[in-house]
Structure 1
Amino acid sequence: MAETLATYEVPEHHVKMYTANVQAALNKEGGILTPLVSSNAYTGEKSQVVNFIGEVEFVERSTPYGDTKVTELEHTQVWISGREYDCAVFIDRLDTLKMIYDPTNPYVERFREAAARKMDEIIMSKFFADRKVGKDGTSTSAFGSANTVVHGNTGLTVAKLRSLRKLIKKRHVKVRTVRPKIAVTAEDVDNLLGEVAVTSADYAAIKPLVDGEVSSFMGFDFIPYEDNGGTSGDGKSIPSFQDSGSVVRQLPVWVPDGMHFGQWDGLTIKISDRADKNHIKQIHGTFTAGATRLEEGKVFQVQSKNAA
């Protein structure tokens, strides 16, 4: 009797090899945002306190035998909550199923892309969302308007970048040792290129962004992040709102230790028989992850308005 998709049993070690290949590919080439934020691995409860303390300071001793001066640490407890995400697909070719363990199998790359994209969306959706704080995580902390450069009825401009850089310095972010990141769309890059085109040096600095490459300008690393469908706030695109009939994008600006991404127990993959679908084989992947704003003085927003 000829072997078919329905009769073929996938060896367990092939499933483990496939899982390892997807995880290795994800580690080698993750998402756009995941390498640019702090991260940690979690176990147990789906809500955890992020290991974080505020800055400390040395003080001058005024008398030889005076009382010890204790520096008050920032005791705000920041919580991260993990949610489960699934991806299930059917395999309709026996030869592909038999070679599922091969690192070059197309299902490896497709699952890597899906996982990386979803992890980016998780981070993007949390830049300006309320964060959970307090002893038990029941209190919330909203994103502060004081860390926002408003749109002023214009797109992304050099003047806004100057205002943003000044604001970041006022928050004591160490820009000499860490370069702030800013997520932008092609529209924002075009606005900036149109403004600086008269200056050849500036134009050359921003030009790589036209091709979707990461580029630096005025002390910022520009991170291309295009609309991937969905609605504002779900992370598939940069958050936005409507103003007088035009879209205003809320471009996130951050330093890596200002945002945090967490994963619970890594990626789990199963390959099983679907009796309800004529015994076709199914790949089912799942992971649990979450993100949160960690330090309010290290995440900012610059607004960019589309031309009417």
Structure 2
Amino acid sequence: MSAEITQFYETEFAKNWEMKVQQKDSRLLPTVTTDSFRGKRKWYNQLDAGVMTEVTERKGDTPDGDTTGTKYWIYRRKFEFVRTWDEDDEMQLGSIALPDSDEIASFTAAEARTKDDVIIQAFDGTRKVGETGTETETFPSGQSVPATYPPGGPMVSMGLTVQKILRAKKILDENEVDDEDRYFVTSSQQLQDMLNITEITSGDYVNVKALVDGEVSMFAGFTFVRSERLPVDGNGLRSCFAYHKSGIRWADAGRSVHIDVLPNKRHARQLRGVCRMGAVRVEDKRVVRVLCDETPGVS
């Protein structure tokens, strides 16, 4: 049976691959202190603040004094990215390219996101301290701004507000954290919250709108960084963080990329990217957790 010519029209297809929308770079790595190590763990030494004593007598005995401090530890964590292709995949794809080089780019993007995840976990995670690194130290409640802040009014959870930002600033100020290199990491929802709340004065609104629009990145002494990877608990509370660059230490422990033929898998071709890293909160006083409600109808 004859067919119309339209049924013979050719269908064309792309021969290459495109990456779906995703975060491709680490946004938090430039905001923390970086280091490197090769063992399974590494310790750091912290010196306690000193105190001066007044001299009230002539030719008196010189008092004794010892150096005191603490140890905290960073532990290596290992992550991998694996793609495996059957020995016939390249042939059966025909003119479509095998996405091996594209998957290397995908590994690099995944590694960047993993760096941010490890840093985020260090903000308020349990850290190892002490002489042998077996003691644990949890994040103190006094370094948190609750979702219901400010106190004194109805106990209503809210999104991010100017009052919460100023409270985080006050905590860092009272802890004598350096004014420079302060950061505040939030999701896009928190920036939107600040435009919606009624407490903002006209002057605040202009500054916040410029922040949301990307025209400026500074507010209340913080450089704001957006991350959609901050944790949200079962009650819809997202943990945002105000911190000093010296408050988090991230350490690189090596990376490698392997492309191999696997004889035991019928000569399948495998790409395997490996990265090793760790992060730790340097000192509790340099980090503030700010809880923000993201449940519908809030803010």
TM over 0.5, yes or no? yes
Counterpart residue identity of residue 172, structure 2: I
The alignment status of 1:150 with 2:152, answered yes or no, reads: no
- Which aligned pairs between 1:99-118 and structure 2 lie closer than 5 A? 106-118=102-114
* Alpha-carbon distance change, 276 to 196 in structure 1, aligned in 2, over 3 angstroms: farther
CA distance change for structure 1 residues 138 and 32 in 2, over 3 Å: closer, same or farther?
same
Deviation, structure 1 residue 127 = 1.1
Q: How many residues align?
A: 257
What amino acid maps onto 1:37 in structure 2?
A: V
Q: 1:84 aligns to what SS in structure 2?
A: strand
Question: Does 195-204 or 266-275 show the bigger shift?
Answer: 195-204
1:86 maps to: 80
**Is 1:160 aligned to 2:164, yes or no?**
yes
Corresponding position of 1:180: 182
Structure 1 residues 199 and 106: CA distance shift in structure 2, 3 A:
farther
Query: Cα RMSD over matched residues?
Result: 3.0
Q: Distance in 1 between matches of 2:66 and 2:206?
A: 47
SS of equivalent to 2:233: strand
Partner of 1:202, secondary structure, is helix
Q: Secondary structure at the match of 1:111?
A: helix
Instruction: State the TM-score, normalized to the length of structure 1.
Output: 0.73
Of residues 220, 223, 227, the one that matches 1:221 is: 223
Look up the match of 1:253.
Answer: 242
Deviation for aligned residue 1:124: 0.7
Is the 8 Å Cα contact of residues 214 and 224 (structure 1) preserved in structure 2? Answer: no
- Could you say if the C-alpha distance between residues 171 and 195 of structure 1 is closer, same or farther in structure 2, counting changes exceeding 3 Å? same
1:173 aligned partner, one-letter code? V
1:67 aligns with 2:88: no
Q: Could you tell me how far apart the structure 2 residues matched to 1:251 and 1:213 are?
A: 21
Structure 1 residue runs of 5 or longer lacking an equivalent are 1-28, 227-236
| Contact persistence 2:211–2:219 (CA under 8 A) | no
Distance in 1, Cα, partners of 2:189 & 2:256:
38
Q: Of 279, 284, 288, which residue of structure 2 is paired with 1:291?
A: 279
Deviation per CA, 1:22-69, whole angstroms, max 9, x where unpaired?
xxxxxxx9511111111211122x122124434445655555644156
Segments of 5+ residues of structure 2 without an aligned counterpart are 1-23, 149-156
Question: What's the TM-score, normalizing by structure 2?
Answer: 0.75
Paired with 1:82 and 1:224, the residues of 2 have a C-alpha distance of 26
Identity %, equivalent residues: 27
Q: Which residue of 1 aligns with 2:293?
A: 305
Equivalent-residue separation in structure 2 for 1:195 and 1:295 (angstroms): 33
Q: CA deviation at 1:208?
A: 5.0
Deviations 1:82-126 (A, max 9, x none): 1111111246659978x98xxxx5445322211111111111112
Deviation at 1:203, TM superposition (A): 3.4
